[in-house]
Chain A
């Protein structure tokens, strides 16, 4: 490789093509301009921009902190002579290096943290706040109709052969109504209660928007007396009156779209989204649970029913939580709450249902 090889140079200022004589010098590539000017491109700053189709020649630029997307000086030297290319490759060992712009790692870290923070803010602050605001303003009729479709959907899922799940035993129904009436006798509720028992072995109960409360047969069977059922019912009424189910539903809806967007079309994304969604919304907050407990205790006290029922039920559910995960999953911190309920046990009380009524309730599903 002797002498100067004519090569095309674009100076990064204009699109005009300049031809310069290029030679491999001491520690630098030497560029001889037509007007006699001489440029030195140090070997350690030489970077290959793109390989040409022949796989041997390439275009060069100088490493430089320009503040651009890549730290490269805008000038380009097109090396189209294979011999010159080979000589440069030997002289400049850092030719193929990928340089990150200064501060790139820090920008990625900041970006990631900011994005995660923003998404957390949306999921855990903004969406719940919006949900709470809207739940306050939602028309009562919308809420009731919505609750009805929720109950219908749960029923459709739990039923094995599409038979209606709601238990219609007349005596049991009367006992249930009497229980609800005694519990709420002293109060005017915001919602007309729509209480139903589903013929299902799950030990569970839940409230749906618009005054719906569903008790599962399994829960009534697991209870050792009517006061325990009354305690759970009072607790769910507490959720209803606090509009917790509506708020939870709104919140889930808001989070669902965001999570599915975040996970995107990545493989298995849908499953992760569903799982995350479930973890996020399975339970009411501890505050909501505590408020519902307090409400239930007040209701029981006013009705002259022993709050011991609620306490007993919690106390019995807690140690067996492994075997009765349903109620526990949606009602966190049961053990501590049993103690609080027990502490609130008031003076002597009358059972909420007579023996006959209790038997009728237990037999409501026939």
Chain B
């Protein structure tokens, strides 16, 4: 009976997602609490566990994705990135200092005031300049980290036991991202589609499944149609501004409408340009993708989740404050300092709320949006996968350490 069956699995053209609300909420809560208790050190292991669940829930033509990254390598990568960034930022700070501009923290004691004053100069303009310069100094590393993070995630993803991968070319991405970013800013956003396309194509054309290369097709000008809503929103915003200028009560309302529609327009652009770019990707010449995400659905999931979390927190906050007042209210009547117990309970409550929000956002927003993206995508020509050969292990370089050090993690 056993025969080589090739890829003839039922529903072979489907992407499916089987992750559920309960398990991911539990996972996010537990890992969030351990992260809190270990002052953040566990977050690398938390990410790995969450990804193992999410990847394992994605099926391509009936086969589950597999995430093989470990918290350990992410932790080591983070340490490495911290050393590199520390060197770079230390140098930048000292150069900034030459121009007499440094960031100031609020002193708390007289001694601190003197020490800090010795260390830091004064004016708020100078502070703003220094802050901007420090942030600018980090920008190249942000792009570097973006590419490296994608490369690491691909290198740790397997399908049918075969590794994905990406060529090491992060610095080339940095120069292109800086150049396209500058062009987009100079043209007031008019060249955004060109930036979106060029950067995605740069990464896609360097991505592999086994020995097969991905390719990004299509022309960047096609993305303009998805930018239309942003244009309309901005136009309404400007009209509202003009009306406000001529003292019409209608102006501010119009500005609000313009602002909201521009924001929704940006969401639309992100969702639809992702769909379009996916539809124009090919793998190994024969495999294609058909992605049809719905902007309305994505916005609805985000809105619904946001409202639910807000309501839950309003209720919890009222209950919590009532509890504290009931327990410690007597001690606070005299107008003295609040008792230590009340402070401890408040801090614990704040931290618990912090972990709960993150977990709820994962379970109510991130996962449903991911599910929507996956379930609205199909794969064509899946039979071509059969000829694909394994690729070599990638050490993963800094294992996303730069992205972690710069705190730029996405949902998963």
Binding site for B on A (CB under 8 A): 4, 6, 8, 10-21, 32-34, 49-53, 59, 61, 66-70, 72, 74-76, 78, 100, 104, 107-108, 111-112, 114-115, 118-119, 122, 126-127, 130-131, 134, 138, 142, 145-146, 149-154, 157-158, 202, 204, 206, 208-209, 245, 248-250, 252-258, 261-262, 264-268, 270, 274, 277-278, 281-282, 326, 329-330
Contact = CB atoms under 8 A, between A and B. Distances in A.
Contacts of B83: 114-115, 118-119, 122
A138 B351 contact: no
Contacts of A253: 93-94, 96-97, 102, 119-120
Contacts of B105: 256, 270, 274
Contacts of B396: 69
B324 interface: no
Nearest to B118: A249
Contacts of A20: 2
A36 to B, nearest CB: 10
Contacts of B108: 274
A70 B68 CA distance: 7
Contact of A256 (B63, B69, B103, B113): B103
A9 B46 CA distance: 30
Interface string B384-405: 0111111001001000000001
A20 B68 CA distance: 25
A115 B161 contact: no
Given A256-B103, A257-B134, A278-B115, A17 B160 contact: yes
B16 to A, nearest CB: 9
Contact of A245 (B102, B118, B156): B118
Nearest to B79: A115
A157 B57 CA distance: 58
A78 B63 contact: yes
B94 A157 contact: no
A281 B92 contact: no
18 contacts: A6-B1, A14-B386, A15-B389, A17-B7, A59-B66, A69-B68, A122-B83, A122-B87, A131-B94, A134-B98, A149-B121, A150-B122, A204-B114, A248-B119, A256-B102, A257-B90, A258-B89, A268-B39
Contacts of B158: 76
Nearest to A272: B39
Nearest to A143: B100
Contact of B86 (A34, A78, A122): A122
A270 B100 CA distance: 23
B122 A149 contact: yes
B90 A122 contact: yes
B3 A254 contact: no
Contacts of A76: 66, 158, 160-161
A12 B122 contact: no
Given A107-B76, A157-B113, A267-B351, A261 B97 contact: no
A261 B390 contact: no
Interface residues of B, number: 86
Contacts of A262: 82, 86
A51 B56 contact: yes
A252 B117 contact: no
Given A51-B56, A53-B57, A76-B160, A17 B9 contact: yes
Contacts of B91: 130, 254
Contacts of B75: 108, 111
Contacts of B112: 274, 278
A245 B86 CA distance: 24
B159 interface: yes
B93 A112 contact: no
A108 B162 contact: no
A262 B82 CA distance: 7
A16 B64 contact: no
Given A17-B7, A111-B79, A254 B66 contact: no
Contact of B386 (A16, A72, A256, A270): A16
Nearest to B3: A34
Given A50-B56, A150-B118, A261-B405, A111 B80 contact: yes
Contacts of B72: 100, 104, 108
B52 interface: yes
Contacts of B98: 134, 138, 142
B93 A256 contact: yes
Contacts of A66: 393
Contacts of A50: 52, 55-56, 64, 66
Given A13-B389, A32-B2, A142 B100 contact: yes
Nearest to A145: B100
Interface in B125-146: 134
B210 interface: yes
B115 A281 contact: yes
A266 B40 contact: yes
B346 interface: no
A75 B162 CA distance: 9
Q: Which of B69, B89, B389 has the most CB of A within 10 A?
A: B89
Given A15-B388, A115-B83, A253-B94, A149 B36 contact: no
B5 interface: yes
